[in-house]
Amino acid sequence: MADFGRPPLAVDLKLECLQHSGSFKARGAFTNLLERPVPEAGVVAASGGNHGAAVAYAAMRLGHKATIFVPEVSPPAKLDRIRSYGAELVVGGARYAEALAASESFAEKTGALQIHAFNQEETLVGQGTLGLEIEADLPEIDTLLVAVGGGGLIGGIAAWFAGRIRIVAVEPEGAPTLHRAFEAGRPVDAPAEGIAADSLAPKRVGEMMFPIAEAYVERSLLVSDDDIIAAQKALWDRVRIISEPGGAAAFAAVLSGRYQPAPGERIAILVCGANANPAKF
């Protein structure tokens, strides 16, 4: 448990920034590779960075070929991580949607196994193992704050808890995918702009996760770029935790006051990724 702010605010941090490949996405990647048959052509994924790194890492550890399609906006630190795991890296367009389309075409032509970053049952199941661990470590938890991009993380966790705790989504103002979906009653396109767009930047949440979110996610909070930068800085300055912008988004909701815990409320926050530019720290 860490203390932040005056008056002191006690929170529990789940440090997926220390996970293999630098983010929680290793969970979904390994689940896909262990639960689905992998052809000789290997695996293919589209990613802004973290999912690609996770798939590349899991493929390397399990002895499979990996091809990762990335958008042009991908941060160099994340591309370097993907290359370090021996994957073939292909620039597949300006944005995530274009990289995804290119990866799907590649899978159709080569027979490679497509591993979706969030709209895949095995991916949701893998990310949901976080819920199992949190419940075992913090049985007294009241509320969990989770950052959202495509929704695979919060979908898997919400499915695990199934209403036993309060789950609150946190999104950057420039990439409000779940927020827009809640307003529309279905997944719809949202902008992908601002500081967190590199890692929380699909155009919409997944079709698989949305019914789960409707049932078990209390609401979605939006945080500003300044909120996220302040959260990154606080994590580093106070507890020496490196987090990428998307990884700090959930913490930003509490630090900024966008989420205000009730007296005695026990909250936990997912710090979900650490593939940041080292020069910033």
One domain for residues 184 and 263: yes
One domain for residues 162 and 86: no
Location of structure tokens 């209390």 = 218
One domain for residues 100 and 53: yes
One domain for residues 137 and 262: yes
One domain for residues 145 and 257: yes
CB 125, CB 157: distance < 8 Å? no
* Residue finishing a domain among 80, 114, 148: 114
Q: How far is CA 191 from CA 107, 174, 199, 202, in A?
A: 27, 6, 13, 9
Bridge partners of 169, per DSSP, are 146, 220
221-233 b/e (C-beta count within 10 Å ≥ 16 → b)? bbbbbebbebbbe
Q: Give me the pLDDT at residue 77, please.
A: 77
Residue stretches of the chain with pLDDT short of 70: 1-8, 196-201, 277-281
Task: Report residue 233: phi and psi, to 5°.
Answer: -65, -40
* Residue finishing a domain among 54, 84, 114: 114
Task: Report helix, strand and coil shares of the chain as percent, to nearest 5.
Answer: 45, 15, 35
One domain for residues 179 and 272: yes
Q: How crowded is the C-beta side of 205, counted as CA atoms within 13 Å?
A: 32
One domain for residues 30 and 161: no
* Residue finishing a domain among 57, 80, 114: 114
pTM score: 0.91
Bridge partners of 255, per DSSP, are none
One domain for residues 135 and 50: no
One domain for residues 41 and 162: no
One domain for residues 13 and 60: no
* CATH code, domain carrying 217: 3.40.50.1100
One domain for residues 160 and 110: no
Q: Quick one: DSSP state of residue 46?
A: E
Q: Give me the pLDDT at residue 119, please.
A: 93
Q: Give me the pLDDT at residue 8, please.
A: 62
Instruction: Give the number of domains in the chain.
Output: 2
Q: What's the pLDDT tens digit per position in 56-76?
A: 999 999 999 999 999 888 878
One domain for residues 81 and 181: no
Residue span of the structural domain in which 92 resides: 24-114
